[in-house]
Structures are given as C-alpha cells and as structure tokens.
A and B are shown apart, each in its own frame.
Chain A
C-alpha cells in the first residue's frame, strides 16, 4: 500500500487565485513529519514547508500553508495568490520516526499549471 497518496495528477489554476493540492498519508507511527517539495521544469527539488505530527498549528511559509488534518491523515498544500512561477510538479513526502528509519517517502506528485 502506498504511504503517500496524491490523487491529482494535474491541476490548473488562474493567476492570483488560491489552489489546494491534496495529500493523504498512511502510518501507524505516532511520530512523523510531513513535507512538500516543488520541482520546476529545471529538475531541482525545492523544499517548501514542513508539518510535524505533534504540531498543534498548521504550518505556514509565505504564500504556502499546510492544511493538516491528523484524524483524516491528510496534509494538503494551499498556495495563495498563485503566480506563473508556481507552475511545477509538487511532491508530498513523509518521514516516520520511532518505527521507521527517517527515510523520506514520496507521493507520485501533482503537476500544477498556472494560467495568466
């Protein structure tokens, strides 16, 4: 079974609008971290945002926020005020703690295209 599921292969959004990229995860470990990465067409992976399993508040980094719903095991990325430069692949990832070995596990990714 997949540990990280991203159900949206592709998403389109109008410039300046907000967009939500979905991510659900599967773990029995009480201690874990969730990450989002951006991969532009150039290929490099850029870390965006992190959420710890014990964090009470949703993480935010500038225009990025993580909508963390622990009971539903979801960690959706919200991008506010989309820009043309946000067009990229987005990957959700998880590192499990006590039961795992802190190896990052990735979803299949969502391709985001921002229209002018």
Chain B
C-alpha cells in the first residue's frame, strides 16, 4: 500500500519557535510538495522539490523553508512561527512526469499560540 506519512497529526507551538514538519514517502517519487490549506482558500503551494537538494518556491513561500536531503523525505521549516501560520499543512508526492495523481499525507494541523 503506497504511503505518504507526515510526522504529526496535530501540533501546538508558541510564537517565535522553530517548527519542523516532516514528510516521508515510500513510492520513489521524484516530486514532493508542501501545501497549506485554509477554509475558503483551497490548497496553496508553499514549496516543491523535484529532486534531492532541489527546491522551488510556490505561491506562498514567505516565512517557510524546506529541506530535501534524501529522496523519500521532504521537510517544511517554519523559522519563527507566527499566529498567521496556524493552518492545515498537507504533504504530497508524485512522479515527475506525466499526469499521474499526487498522493497525500494525512495532514498536520498546526496551531501557533
């Protein structure tokens, strides 16, 4: 059974903390993505990676960074968490080419207080 696994389902962090969201996939996918989901706004792309150590900014990269040291793992980093980063974060992966579907993790609901 193919899997994308996010390290936490729920997180509560304090303003100013450095936050790490981890994502692991076991499908040997080249592409990995981090999306943010807010009510009424759908899924917005934060960053994506098409290969190890490669990363590209998405639509809303401000306040975030990413790391991809191994093909199967893609980390999202909030350098200094703020309350406006309270949201649902979804990790996804897919093959690099073609029109196959993306596979998603279960999501991390992050609350910054």
Which residues of the other chain, B, contact A32 by a CB distance below 8 angstroms?
99
Q: A43-B106, A47-B101, A50-B101 are in contact. Are A107 and B42 (CB under 8 A)?
A: yes
Kindly identify which residue among A35, A91, A102, A105 contacts B97, using a CB–CB cutoff of 8 Å: A102
A108 touching B42, Cβ below 8 Å: yes
Q: B42 near A35 (CB under 8 angstroms)?
A: no
Interface residues in B12-40 (C-beta closer than 8 Å to A): 31, 33, 35, 40
Beyond A35-B101, A102-B99, A108-B41, 12 extra complex contacts between A and B, CB < 8 Å:
A35-B102, A43-B88, A43-B106, A44-B104, A44-B106, A44-B107, A47-B102, A50-B99, A97-B99, A101-B56, A102-B94, A102-B98
Give me 23 A-to-B residue pairs in the complex whose CB atoms sit less than 8 angstroms apart, sorted by A's number: A6-B42, A33-B99, A42-B106, A43-B107, A45-B104, A50-B99, A91-B42, A91-B43, A97-B99, A101-B50, A101-B56, A102-B31, A103-B31, A103-B45, A104-B33, A104-B92, A104-B94, A105-B45, A106-B35, A106-B42, A108-B40, A108-B41, A109-B42
Q: Which residues of B contact A (CB under 8 A)?
A: 31, 33, 35, 40-43, 45, 48, 50, 56, 58, 88, 90, 92, 94, 96-99, 101-107, 109
